[in-house]
Amino acid sequence: MILSKKNVQVKNTVIGGGAYTRFIAIAPSNAEEMKSQIKEAASLGEAGIEIKVGNLTKAEDALSVLVEYKEDLTEQSVVLNFDTTGYDNTESDDEKLQAAEKAAKSGLVDIIGAEAFASENYIASMKKIAAENGVKLMLSHIDFDGIAPEDEIIHTAKAAESKGADLIYLAYMTKNDPDVIVLGYASKKIASDNLVSVPICVFPMGEVGFQTRILSERCGNSFGFYHLAEPENGLFESYAQYKAMYEVYGDCKKIQSKVQFDMGEKHIMGGERFIRCFMLKERTKNDILEAARNVARYNPEMVEWRVDYCLPMDNSKFTEDYWKNALKEIKEILPDVPMLMTFRVKKEGGKTWYPDALRLKMASALVSTGLIEYCDCEIDNDIEYINTLKEACVKSNTKFVVSQHKWTETPSNEEIAATFRECVDKGADLPKFYLMATNYDDAVRTSVVTKKLREEELDMPIIICAMGDTGLITRTLGGCMGADFEFIDITGIKGGEEEDVHYVDQLADIFGY
C-alpha cells in the first residue's frame, strides 16, 4: 500500500499509514435499527464504523444511540457522515451543522463527513467544528451518473483537500470495464504521484467494480467502506461477501495443482502461473491464420482453436484434410504454443449446429495429427462419444478436457462439486466448469467452493470461472481460487465471458499482480 504524506490518527488507528483501514458502513432508518447494526458492526473487529445519516429522519437521532453504545466503541473509530447524496434526507445545512456540533462536542465521534461541493459556508463551518473539537473532517463526492475523466477525478480530489479535508472519499458509478480502468488509474496516480497529501479512497459503485473494492489497497486507497448488509440497489456487496472474497484473492497468489502438466517452454499447466489462453474464433482459414499471426505478437502461452466457428465444415475427406493442413499452418505460426482444440456443441455455446457424428469425426481427426495438446469434450455428450474421443486423445498423448457450461446461473455448491467429480469420472485430465454469476453471492460461492475443492479434493489442473460483471475477478485472478488458466481475446471483447488482452494487462498493472 502507498503511504499518505499526512497520516490521520483516530483512536488506535493510523489511516494512511502502513495498513489499509476498513470501516463497516451502516445506514439505519431508525434508532432500533441503528442499535442492532452497531452491535453487529462492532463485533466484526474492523478499525471503525461509518454511520450514514441519510435514512434517518433527523441526523441528531444518531447521538442518543451512540451514547448508549459509547463503552462498546472505545477501540473503534466512529464516522458520522452527513453526506446524504442518494438518500431522502431533507434536513437543511443548519440542521446538519447543529447535529455535527453536538456530535463533535460529545466526544462520541472521531470523524464527521460532508459533501465536498456543498456551499463554502457549510464546509467552512464543518471544518471549524472539527478543528475546535479535535475530530477529523472527511469530504466526499458521490456521482451516480457515471465516472469522470481521469484528470477530472484528480481535480476533484485536489479540490477536496484545498477545502480542508483530513480524509477524501470519492465514489463513482462504474457501468462497464473501461470505467474500472479509468477509475483504477486515477486512484493509483493520485497515490503514487502524491497529488494529495491526505488519506484518500477512490471507490467504484456497482457490480463491475467488485474486483476494485476487493483489491482496494492495491490501487492506492488508504481506506474503504464496506457495508454491513448488501444494499438492495446492488451498489455494493455486503461486508461478509467482501471478506470471503478478500480471503481468496487478497494476496493475489495462485494455488498450484498437485499434478502438473509439463507442456514445454511456454508453460507448466497447474504451476505457479495463471495461464492466459488466447482464442481463435474466426470463420475462414485465411482469417484464422491472420488471427494466429496477431496472437503471436503477444508471446502467447496457450491458444484455443474453436473449430465450431470454421467454414467450410462437412463430413467429407476433403474438408477433414483441409482443416488438418490449416492446423499445421497455425502451428507453424505459433510453434511450441500448446493448443486447446474445441468443437463446441451448439447448446453449450457453439457457433453452429453440427451432427454429433461430424463433430466426433473432425475432432478425432485433428487430435490424431499429434499437434493438439488439449481437446475439449462436453460432459453431456453420449458416453460413447466421450469414450471414443478420449481414446483418440490417449493415442496422441493429448490431454482430455471434459467441460460443462451454465450460461444463466450459478448452481449450488453441491452441484459444482458434483460436476467436477463427474468430469473426472468421465476421464478428464482437466475438468472445466463455466458458470454465470448473476449477483455477488454467486461470485463468492464460486470462489469459496472452488478453493475448497482445489485444496481438499482435486489434484489435477482445473478450469473454472464465473461469467458476468460480479465474476470478473474469477476470470482475471482465478488462480487464487485454484483455476489454472483464463480465456482472453485480442478483438476488444470485454466483460461477460472473456476479457480483451489489453484490459487484462491494464488490470494487472493497476493492481500490481
DSSP string covering 378-443: ETTS-HHHHHHHHHHHHHTTPEEEEEEE-SS----HHHHHHHHHHHHHTT-SEEEEEEE--SHHHH
Share of the chain above pLDDT 70, in %: 98
pLDDT score of 258 more than 80: yes
Superfamily in which the 8-249 domain is placed by CATH: Aldolase class I (3.20.20.70)
Judged against a pLDDT cut of 80, whether residue 497 lies above it is answered with no
| CATH number for region 271-511 | 3.20.20.70
Delimiting residues of CATH 3.20.20.70 domain(s) in the chain? 8-249, 271-511
Per-residue pLDDT tens for 141-167? 999 999 999 999 999 999 999 999 999
Helix (H, G, I), strand (E, B) or coil at 498: coil
Distance CA 484, CA 65 (A): 50
The predicted pLDDT at position 266 comes to 67
Backbone dihedral angles phi then psi of residue 172, each to the nearest 5 degrees: -130, 145
Q: What is the pLDDT of residue 25?
A: 98
For 283-298, b where at least 16 C-beta lie within 10 A, e where not — what string? eebeebbebbeebeee
pLDDT of residue 285: 98
pLDDT of the residue at 493: 67
Of residues 419 and 490, more confidently modeled: 419
pLDDT at 26: 98
Distance CA 170, CA 354 (A): 52
pLDDT band at 267 (very low <50, low <70, confident <90, very high): confident
pLDDT digits (tens, 9 = 90+) for 301-312: 999 999 999 999
Q: Residue 276: CB partners within 8 Å, gap ≥ 6?
A: 300, 301, 302, 485, 486, 488, 501, 504
Cα separation of 463 and 486, whole Å?
8
Instruction: Provide the pLDDT confidence category of residue 251 given band limits of 50, 70 and 90.
Output: very high
With 80 as the cut, is the pLDDT of residue 5 above it?
no
- For 383-404, write each residue's pLDDT tens digit: 999 999 999 999 999 999 999 9
Average pLDDT of the residues in 429-456: 98
Q: How far apart are CA 268 and CA 278, in angstroms?
A: 16
Which percentage of the chain shows pLDDT scores above 90?
93
Does the pLDDT at position 205 exceed 70?
Answer: yes
pLDDT given for residue 263 in this prediction: 79
Report helix angle 440-456 to 239-249, nearest 10: 40
Look at residue 3 and tell me whether its pLDDT is greater than 70. no
HEC letters along 194-218: CCCCCCEEEEEECHHHHHHHHCHHH
pTM above 0.75, yes or no: yes
Mean pLDDT of the chain: 95
Q: Tell whether the model's pLDDT for residue 496 goes beyond 70.
A: no
